[in-house]
Structure formats: C-alpha cells, structure tokens
C-alpha cells in the first residue's frame, strides 16, 4: 500500500511540476518582449531591466522543461545572459543586445507551444 501511494505521489508531483513551467515561460516572454522593444528604441539600460527578470523566469522554466522545450529554454537562457552582458556595456552595444533578446524571445515562444 505504501509503495503504490509513493509511486502515485511521485507521478502527481512530476505532472504538477510540468504545469509550473508555463507560467514562468509566459512571464519570460512578457519581459523578453519588453527587452527587445526597448532595445529597438535604443534603451540599453531598460533592455537590461527587462532581460533580467526574463532570465530568472526562463531559468525557473528550464528546471521543469523536457525535450524540445528544454532545449529552447536553455538556449533562451544563454541568449538572455548575452543580452544582459551587452546591454550593460551601454548604448553602443544595444544592437547586439537587442538581437540576443529577440533570439531569446523566439526560443521562449517555441518552448511555450
């Protein structure tokens, strides 16, 4: 009896963990979209302000993602890290930072399908 309860509980936990990925990816998409928009407007510091929470949510989503979604989420994390790095270098690097933010956004959208 204890074994079946344990197995059922573990299965339920794994299923519920997958549910938590979507809200994190939704938030990551929201912030990555804002980061890309501000980057296009030439605002490197605001890009970083939005890319940072996008990165945090993408990392949280990556913890529970599986398969192709995991691959896209991991790629988005790398791209957001690069967007932040280049965005912190100032307005001269905003174009590069924006490209990374846009690529991260594409990965996040693909992971959230």
Instruction: Report all structural domains of the chain as residue ranges with CATH numbers, in order of start.
Output: 20-111 (1.20.120.660)
pLDDT at 5: 52
Residue 109 burial class via C-beta count within 10 angstroms: exposed 0-12, middle 13-18, buried 19 and up: middle
- Strand, helix or coil for residue 112: coil
pLDDT at 3: 60
pLDDT along the chain (113 residues), means of 10: 52 46 90 98 98 97 94 98 97 96 97 91
Sign of CA dihedral 42, 48, 50, 54: positive
Instruction: Report how far residue 61's alpha carbon sits from residue 59's, in angstroms, rounded to the nearest whole number.
Output: 5
pLDDT at 22: 79
């Amino acid at each position: 009896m204890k074994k079946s309860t344990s197995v059922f509980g573990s299965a339920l936990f794994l299923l519920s963990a997958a549910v938590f990925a979507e809200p994190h990816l939704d938030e990551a998409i929201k912030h990555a979209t804002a980061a890309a928009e501000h980057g296009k407007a030439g605002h490197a510091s605001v890009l970083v302000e939005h890319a940072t929470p996008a990165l945090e949510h993408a990392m949280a989503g990556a913890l529970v993602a599986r398969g192709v979604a995991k691959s896209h989420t991991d790629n988005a994390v790398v791209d957001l890290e690069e967007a932040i790095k280049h965005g912190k270098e100032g307005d001269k690097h905003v174009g590069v930072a924006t490209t990374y933010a846009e690529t991260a956004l594409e990965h996040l959208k693909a992971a959230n399908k």
